[in-house]
Amino acid sequence: MYYLLKVLNNNALIARVREDGSERILLGKGIGFGRKTGEEFEEIEGASVYTPVVRETQSSAMSAVNAIDPVYLEAAGKIIQEAEQVFDTIRRDILLPLADHIAFAAKREKEKIFLANPFIPDIKILFGKEYAVALKSREIIEKMTGYRISDDEAGFIALHIHSGLSGEQVSDTLKTTQIIDDCITMLEEYLGDKIYKESLSYIRLMSHLYYMVIRARTGEAVNIELNEFVRKQYPKAGEISELICHYMEKRLEKRLDREEIGFLAIHIQRIL
């Protein structure tokens, strides 16, 4: 049973679950038409239900929702539904932060302010499916708001989608991407040359670096000992691998397993 807190527009409303007092955002065509604040209702057929997560500075979902035009909530909801067609499950609590980002992206487009996303190449490799959904989201946003966002903005939306899949905060995912980008720069500087970024070996290296960061954050151990083999067979790859591991430890403020050095060196050797 729901208690209606506010009709946002004809297609969106916010309500409180009578049983536990938690708040929900409901989206669906015409679900708000004719409804009044304070009325009680059961599940609405065809409505999508979202559990909002609010920032520490916001007292409730109501205060967060009041700061966002409902059209951006609707757009975010449709993007989440698009993602649900691609992925098995995605957390719906990304609705508010995603809607908030769309609102600011539309505002930037209106004011002709371009926000560059330096991590687009990395996002395409690390989160390719998420980015494909984000590119489709441009049509959704344009149809609903009249503004067509750039590919760079789509990259940021891809991070929100990844957040819904991984449970990571967007800021953490962005930091991970920055660390990986820095590691690739270190490798290129060490080699004195650019790496061919369309190769399968490069894609595997990027993926390996990503999961290195995840393992460091979660404390997952690596059970492959390759350090001695690498020291004898691939000393150059081992040297740069050790430098990269030290850098990653510093950025993450986490200790990496020593086995990570040899494991990473094997991937580096493939692109030398």
Mean pLDDT by 10 residues, the chain (272 residues): 94 93 93 93 91 66 84 97 95 95 95 95 96 97 95 97 95 96 97 93 97 95 92 96 98 95 96 90
DSSP class of residue 94? G
Domain count, the chain: 3
pLDDT computed for residue 173 by the predictor = 95
Specify the pLDDT at position 45: 87
Directed axis angle between helix 151-166 and helix 95-110, to 10°? 170
Q: What is the pLDDT of residue 28?
A: 96
Distance CA 51, CA 130 (A): 21
pLDDT at 172: 95
For residues 155 and 184, membership in a common domain is answered with no
Note the pLDDT of residue 52: 85
Which of 21, 41, 66 corresponds to the end of one domain? 66
Tell me, what CATH number does 99's domain have? 1.10.1790.10
Q: What is the pLDDT of residue 54?
A: 65
Q: What is the pLDDT of residue 2?
A: 94
**Domain finish residue from 43, 66, 89:** 66
Same domain for 111 and 189: no
Residue 255: which domain range?
Answer: 171-269
